[in-house]
Amino acid sequence: MIWMIISALLLTAGEPALLTNGEISLGFDPTTGTLIEVRDLKANIKVAGGTGPPVNVKVNGEWVFSDPKGKLRLSDLRREDTDEGKKLTLRLLRGNWEVETVYVIPHEGAWARRRATLRFVGEGEAKVNSIRFSLFGAAIEPLADCLYTLPPLWPPRKFRFGELSPGRTRSAGIWAGTPAAVVYNETKGIG
Protein backbone atom coordinates (compact mmCIF):
# COMPACT_ATOMS: atom_id res chain seq x y z
CA MET A 1 0.00 0.00 0.00
CA ILE A 2 2.83 2.41 0.79
CA TRP A 3 4.36 1.69 -2.64
CA MET A 4 1.14 2.79 -4.36
CA ILE A 5 1.11 6.07 -2.39
CA ILE A 6 4.75 6.73 -3.30
CA SER A 7 3.99 6.04 -6.98
CA ALA A 8 1.05 8.45 -6.88
CA LEU A 9 3.23 11.15 -5.33
CA LEU A 10 5.88 10.65 -8.01
CA LEU A 11 3.30 11.00 -10.76
CA THR A 12 1.75 14.18 -9.40
CA ALA A 13 5.15 15.87 -9.04
CA GLY A 14 5.39 16.20 -12.85
CA GLU A 15 8.56 14.14 -13.14
CA PRO A 16 8.71 11.33 -15.70
CA ALA A 17 8.05 7.81 -14.42
CA LEU A 18 11.32 5.92 -14.94
CA LEU A 19 12.23 2.30 -15.63
CA THR A 20 15.97 1.71 -15.39
CA ASN A 21 18.53 -1.04 -14.91
CA GLY A 22 21.83 0.86 -14.89
CA GLU A 23 22.38 0.39 -18.65
CA ILE A 24 19.15 1.75 -20.12
CA SER A 25 16.51 4.11 -18.80
CA LEU A 26 12.98 4.65 -20.15
CA GLY A 27 11.09 7.81 -19.14
CA PHE A 28 7.30 8.11 -19.35
CA ASP A 29 5.02 11.17 -19.28
CA PRO A 30 3.34 11.23 -15.84
CA THR A 31 -0.12 12.12 -17.20
CA THR A 32 -0.40 10.23 -20.51
CA GLY A 33 2.00 7.29 -20.10
CA THR A 34 3.74 8.21 -23.38
CA LEU A 35 7.36 7.03 -23.70
CA ILE A 36 9.16 10.40 -23.76
CA GLU A 37 12.83 9.41 -23.57
CA VAL A 38 15.24 6.52 -23.88
CA ARG A 39 18.74 6.77 -22.42
CA ASP A 40 21.70 4.50 -22.98
CA LEU A 41 23.38 5.18 -19.65
CA LYS A 42 26.74 3.61 -20.53
CA ALA A 43 27.15 5.48 -23.85
CA ASN A 44 25.52 8.63 -22.42
CA ILE A 45 23.07 8.84 -25.35
CA LYS A 46 19.56 10.27 -24.91
CA VAL A 47 16.80 10.03 -27.50
CA ALA A 48 13.72 12.20 -27.06
CA GLY A 49 10.46 10.35 -27.38
CA GLY A 50 7.22 10.94 -29.12
CA THR A 51 4.23 13.07 -28.26
CA GLY A 52 1.52 10.75 -29.55
CA PRO A 53 -0.21 7.98 -27.64
CA PRO A 54 1.99 4.99 -26.68
CA VAL A 55 -0.41 2.75 -28.57
CA ASN A 56 -3.31 3.55 -30.88
CA VAL A 57 -6.18 1.54 -32.28
CA LYS A 58 -8.02 2.09 -35.56
CA VAL A 59 -11.75 1.41 -35.25
CA ASN A 60 -14.10 1.80 -38.20
CA GLY A 61 -11.32 3.56 -40.13
CA GLU A 62 -10.51 6.16 -37.42
CA TRP A 63 -7.55 6.29 -35.01
CA VAL A 64 -9.26 6.41 -31.61
CA PHE A 65 -6.54 8.07 -29.52
CA SER A 66 -5.32 10.66 -32.07
CA ASP A 67 -8.07 13.19 -31.43
CA PRO A 68 -6.80 15.95 -29.07
CA LYS A 69 -9.95 15.52 -26.97
CA GLY A 70 -9.39 11.79 -26.92
CA LYS A 71 -5.95 11.43 -25.40
CA LEU A 72 -5.24 8.55 -23.10
CA ARG A 73 -4.63 9.42 -19.47
CA LEU A 74 -2.58 7.44 -17.01
CA SER A 75 -4.76 5.79 -14.39
CA ASP A 76 -2.36 3.41 -12.64
CA LEU A 77 1.33 2.54 -12.63
CA ARG A 78 2.86 -0.67 -11.27
CA ARG A 79 6.55 -1.62 -11.00
CA GLU A 80 7.75 -5.19 -10.53
CA ASP A 81 11.12 -6.92 -10.39
CA THR A 82 10.64 -10.27 -12.15
CA ASP A 83 12.84 -13.13 -13.37
CA GLU A 84 12.76 -11.70 -16.92
CA GLY A 85 13.72 -8.19 -15.77
CA LYS A 86 12.27 -4.98 -14.42
CA LYS A 87 8.68 -4.46 -15.48
CA LEU A 88 6.56 -1.31 -15.64
CA THR A 89 2.82 -1.69 -16.25
CA LEU A 90 0.82 1.40 -17.19
CA ARG A 91 -2.99 1.39 -17.15
CA LEU A 92 -4.40 4.05 -19.48
CA LEU A 93 -8.02 5.15 -19.92
CA ARG A 94 -10.05 7.06 -22.46
CA GLY A 95 -13.82 6.90 -22.84
CA ASN A 96 -14.85 3.30 -23.48
CA TRP A 97 -11.26 2.05 -23.76
CA GLU A 98 -8.83 0.58 -21.25
CA VAL A 99 -5.25 0.10 -22.39
CA GLU A 100 -2.55 -1.73 -20.48
CA THR A 101 1.00 -1.30 -21.74
CA VAL A 102 3.81 -3.36 -20.25
CA TYR A 103 7.50 -2.51 -20.68
CA VAL A 104 10.24 -4.95 -19.63
CA ILE A 105 13.97 -4.27 -19.52
CA PRO A 106 16.45 -7.03 -18.63
CA HIS A 107 18.42 -6.99 -15.38
CA GLU A 108 21.49 -6.50 -17.62
CA GLY A 109 21.48 -5.20 -21.19
CA ALA A 110 20.26 -2.20 -23.14
CA TRP A 111 17.05 -3.33 -24.82
CA ALA A 112 13.35 -3.19 -23.99
CA ARG A 113 10.28 -5.23 -24.83
CA ARG A 114 6.73 -3.95 -24.75
CA ARG A 115 3.22 -5.22 -25.27
CA ALA A 116 -0.26 -3.78 -25.06
CA THR A 117 -3.67 -5.11 -24.15
CA LEU A 118 -6.69 -3.11 -25.29
CA ARG A 119 -10.19 -3.57 -23.89
CA PHE A 120 -13.38 -1.96 -25.21
CA VAL A 121 -15.86 -1.55 -22.33
CA GLY A 122 -18.60 0.28 -24.24
CA GLU A 123 -21.86 -0.99 -25.67
CA GLY A 124 -21.92 -3.09 -28.81
CA GLU A 125 -18.84 -4.07 -30.79
CA ALA A 126 -15.80 -2.12 -31.87
CA LYS A 127 -14.42 -3.42 -35.16
CA VAL A 128 -10.64 -3.03 -34.81
CA ASN A 129 -8.88 -2.45 -38.15
CA SER A 130 -5.32 -2.16 -36.80
CA ILE A 131 -3.15 -1.39 -33.80
CA ARG A 132 0.13 0.53 -33.79
CA PHE A 133 2.82 1.41 -31.27
CA SER A 134 4.31 4.88 -31.20
CA LEU A 135 7.96 4.66 -32.24
CA PHE A 136 10.69 7.23 -32.57
CA GLY A 137 14.20 7.09 -33.88
CA ALA A 138 17.71 8.22 -33.15
CA ALA A 139 19.99 10.25 -35.38
CA ILE A 140 23.22 8.33 -35.99
CA GLU A 141 25.83 10.23 -37.98
CA PRO A 142 27.83 10.43 -40.18
CA LEU A 143 25.47 8.89 -42.70
CA ALA A 144 28.34 7.50 -44.81
CA ASP A 145 29.19 5.10 -41.94
CA CYS A 146 25.61 3.98 -41.33
CA LEU A 147 24.42 0.52 -42.34
CA TYR A 148 21.23 -1.41 -41.92
CA THR A 149 20.33 -5.06 -42.11
CA LEU A 150 16.99 -6.68 -42.76
CA PRO A 151 17.18 -9.84 -40.61
CA PRO A 152 14.30 -11.65 -42.36
CA LEU A 153 16.21 -11.59 -45.69
CA TRP A 154 18.33 -14.70 -46.24
CA PRO A 155 21.23 -14.72 -46.36
CA PRO A 156 21.64 -11.69 -44.04
CA ARG A 157 23.27 -8.74 -45.82
CA LYS A 158 24.41 -5.24 -44.89
CA PHE A 159 23.18 -2.25 -46.87
CA ARG A 160 24.65 1.27 -46.81
CA PHE A 161 22.19 4.14 -46.55
CA GLY A 162 24.14 5.84 -49.35
CA GLU A 163 23.01 3.04 -51.72
CA LEU A 164 19.41 4.25 -51.58
CA SER A 165 18.48 6.74 -54.23
CA PRO A 166 15.55 9.15 -53.71
CA GLY A 167 12.26 7.29 -53.90
CA ARG A 168 13.83 3.84 -53.38
CA THR A 169 13.01 1.83 -50.28
CA ARG A 170 13.89 -1.53 -48.80
CA SER A 171 11.60 -3.23 -46.34
CA ALA A 172 10.80 -6.50 -44.67
CA GLY A 173 8.06 -7.43 -42.24
CA ILE A 174 8.55 -8.91 -38.80
CA TRP A 175 9.16 -12.62 -39.03
CA ALA A 176 9.24 -14.99 -36.04
CA GLY A 177 9.69 -12.08 -33.63
CA THR A 178 12.74 -10.76 -35.50
CA PRO A 179 12.94 -6.97 -35.87
CA ALA A 180 12.21 -5.67 -39.36
CA ALA A 181 15.45 -3.69 -39.53
CA VAL A 182 18.58 -3.04 -37.50
CA VAL A 183 20.38 0.27 -38.05
CA TYR A 184 23.88 0.93 -36.76
CA ASN A 185 27.04 2.96 -37.28
CA GLU A 186 30.15 0.80 -37.79
CA THR A 187 32.62 3.53 -36.86
CA LYS A 188 30.94 4.56 -33.59
CA GLY A 189 29.62 1.09 -32.74
CA ILE A 190 26.12 2.31 -31.91
CA GLY A 191 22.75 1.37 -33.27
Residues 46 and 104 in one domain: yes
Domain count, the chain: 2
Residues 10 and 81 in one domain: yes
**Within-domain flag for 138:** no
**Within-domain flag for 123:** yes
In which region does residue 176 sit, left (phi positive, over 0), alpha (psi from -120 to 50) or beta (all else)?
A: left
**Within-domain flag for 73:** yes
**Within-domain flag for 149:** yes
Band (53; pLDDT cuts 50, 70, 90): confident
* Per-residue b or e along 155-178, where b marks 16 or more CB atoms closer than 10 Å to that residue's CB: eeeeeeeeeeeeeeeeeeeeeeee
**Within-domain flag for 191:** no
**Within-domain flag for 151:** yes
Percent of the chain topping pLDDT 90: 17
Residues 166 and 80 in one domain: no
121-178 tens-digit pLDDT: 999 888 888 888 776 655 555 666 677 666 666 676 777 766 666 655 555 544 444 4
Residues 32 and 123 in one domain: yes
Residues spanned by the domain of 44? 2-133
Residues 101 and 165 in one domain: no
63-88 tens-digit pLDDT: 888 776 677 888 999 999 999 999 99
pTM of the model: 0.65
